[in-house]
Amino acid sequence: MDMLDLKVFIAVAESKSMRKAAPYVALTQPAVSLRIAGLESELGVPLFSRTRSGAVLTEAGTKFYFYAQYALSALEAGREAITGPFPAQKDNKLRIGIVESLTHIMLPAILQFMKEQAPDIQWKISTGQSLDLTLRSVAGELDISFVNQVFTPLPQIRTVELFEEPLVFIGPKQAGFPRFHSLATYLREVPFILLKRQMPLRELLEHKLFIPQRIYPQKLIEVDTSHLVRQMVAQGGGCSFLPVSSLWPAGSHDAIDIIPLPEFRLKQSFYCAYPLSLSENILHLLPGLQALIRKQVEDYRNDSLFG
């Protein structure tokens, strides 16, 4: 197993296709298939289920995906440390990563904190998926990441829960949109707009709802961001599940309706992750920033019709 094996595996997992993955790793499709076959032989388990529509991660493949990402990130960070290490972090610069679904909550609090508590610090803000942001923190590219999933084992990272929100079942606020009495009927009759596999919210729904209750959307539409979920639901494209915080602030999603389902009760947590090597000066700022974010969340809860 080498770095190219890991890159090939990740490319196939994310594109769900040997053919589509080939250009990303500069190999032919047969070479990609050979690499995956060798990796599966070495691990002793199938990593993908081959179907007419492509390659889908097996349960073992899903588990291995995180470790592959982590291992590849660590190897690349080690190579950078030898050939050209990251510049030493200065205390007057703070690099923050925010998962896409949290930007509307985090940015107002961060901007207020910058103005009031840290006017002399240079700020750099990046967005991305939770796994990518956490691994970038491990590699030293980010100081703080605001994410919606905890990844273990990552001994170099400390994770603090910031807040927790219930998931809600949403549909378009349209007179002609059907209203049923059970989730199973919605799953059978109405298109569902869900985030793609490997994303935290989708994994939460898979393992806490679909698999335990043996139910699954019959008309599935997969998208990459919660923004697209909201937009498509508002335009009448179907139903979905989102944390209630995705519908903040009040009035920002007037075309979306929360549909009560007594049997549906799930929550999603949101976290602040940072490396244990974080400088003392930046570490000193964290409690104030976290407190301001929690206050922002409480303000949204109090003001929101969805709170």
Dump pLDDT digits (tens) for 25-50: 888 888 989 999 999 999 999 998 88
Q: What is the largest CA-CA distance in the chain?
A: 62
Planar angle of CA 188, 194, 199, nearest 5 degrees:
135
| Average pLDDT in the chain | 85
Residues of the chain with pLDDT > 70, as a percent, come to 92
d(CA 94, CA 90): 8
Task: Give the CATH number of domain 93-163+269-303.
Answer: 3.40.190.10
The band of 88, judged by pLDDT with boundaries at 50, 70 and 90, is very low
CATH topology agreement for domains 3-83 and 93-163+269-303: no
Q: Which two tokens stand for residue 69?
A: 């990402």
152, pLDDT greater than 70: no
Task: Give the CATH number of domain 165-268.
Answer: 3.40.190.10
The count of other CB atoms within 10 Å of the CB of residue 185 is: 12
pTM for this entry? 0.72
Contact between residue 202 and residue 171 where contact means Cβ atoms under 8 Å apart: no
Q: Which two tokens stand for residue 207?
A: 């393992």
- H helix runs in 117-221, sequence order: 130-138, 183-189, 200-205, 211-213
Mean pLDDT of 116-134: 85
The whole-number pLDDT of residue 84 equals 55
Contact between residue 145 and residue 234 where contact means Cβ atoms under 8 Å apart: no
Strand partners, 94: 123
Strand partners, 75: none
Q: Which of 6-10, 98-102, 301-305 has the lowest mean pLDDT?
A: 301-305
pLDDT by residue (tens digit) across 185-213? 999 999 999 998 778 899 899 989 998 88
| Residue 19 vs residue 154, higher pLDDT | 19
Contact between residue 148 and residue 101 where contact means Cβ atoms under 8 Å apart: yes
The band of 16, judged by pLDDT with boundaries at 50, 70 and 90, is confident
Domain ranges of the chain: 3-83, 93-163+269-303, 165-268
The band of 82, judged by pLDDT with boundaries at 50, 70 and 90, is low
Q: Which residue has the tokens 């994310």?
A: 14
Task: Give the CATH number of domain 3-83.
Answer: 1.10.10.10
pLDDT by residue (tens digit) across 268-295? 999 999 988 888 888 888 999 999 999 9
Q: Which two tokens stand for residue 195?
A: 């985030």
Planar angle of CA 219, 224, 226, nearest 5 degrees:
90
Mean pLDDT of 69-96: 66
The band of 75, judged by pLDDT with boundaries at 50, 70 and 90, is confident
The whole-number pLDDT of residue 223 equals 92
Mean pLDDT of 254-276: 89
Q: Which of 79-88, 104-113, 174-183 has the lowest mean pLDDT?
A: 79-88
Radius of gyration of the chain (CA): 21
DSSP state of 178: -
Residue from 71, 102, 144, 132 nearest 268 by CA: 102
d(CA 286, CA 277): 14
Residue from 302, 306, 288 nearest 110 by CA: 288
